[in-house]
Structure 1
Amino acid sequence: MASIKDIVFDSPHPASTARFWAQVLDGYEIAPYDEEELARLRSMGINDPEDDPTVLLVHTAGRLPRIFFQLVPESKRVKNRVHLDLGTTDAVAEVERLCALGATVQAEREDWITMQDPDGNEFCLMRS
């Protein structure tokens, strides 16, 4: 039986997208760049983690899923077939916070608000 290990987002700039989601999600942070990871990047000709083609978010308590952001050359073309539903106790305040981080509101429904991250990936903010 399978279980979810990682969720993967395509992105034109994984580092900035990962920073956005690290600020959005409670308990997530960008995985630290230890010397082994920096050496791996250097072996690919990458000297700055800002240019990392695969940035990882991890939960601070070690829980799964991890969230990867991977570099892709093409831009988003159509509606996501899979998206995240986020919960909150104060939808009005959370929409303000997320918009300040770079999200945009796409549509408002009775039970949820459809939003987009800075790369255009849809997600929903569920009203309590």
Structure 2
Amino acid sequence: MWAALTTAEGLGSWFGDSADVDLRPGGEAHVRWVEYGAHTLWIEVVDPPRRFAYSWAVDGLGPSDPRRTHVEFSLEPIGAGTRLTVVETGFAQLPDELVDAFHGNAEGWRDELAELVEYLNAAAAEE
């Protein structure tokens, strides 16, 4: 699970169409989607294998706007598996006209996390 969240191969397989990752606090990951273009993730927390967090720009704000949302992945061993909790915060700072950013990201996470499950299931089947 950790590698799926923090490596170029992992992120580029389920979260985007390709990625590169400088995995360290202060590093950046660049994730590219054919449909949505490229997005930069500013890596804030790397605490293997328990926590990974980054901030990223909000769609609808200019590229120089300092307001970002914060995404945190927490991993907890549960029996033979792992519980993954994903929390994205920072939407309260956005102007009312960008309320759709919250709804778009919430829907996006549902889709992306379903792709993560498929990616992990495929990897487990190969073992």
**Hey, which of these two has a bigger chunk of strand by percent?**
2
Return the structure number with greater helix share: 2
Larger RCO (CA under 8 A, 6+ residues apart):
1
- Rg larger in 1 or in 2? 1
Q: TM-score, normalised by structure 1?
A: 0.31
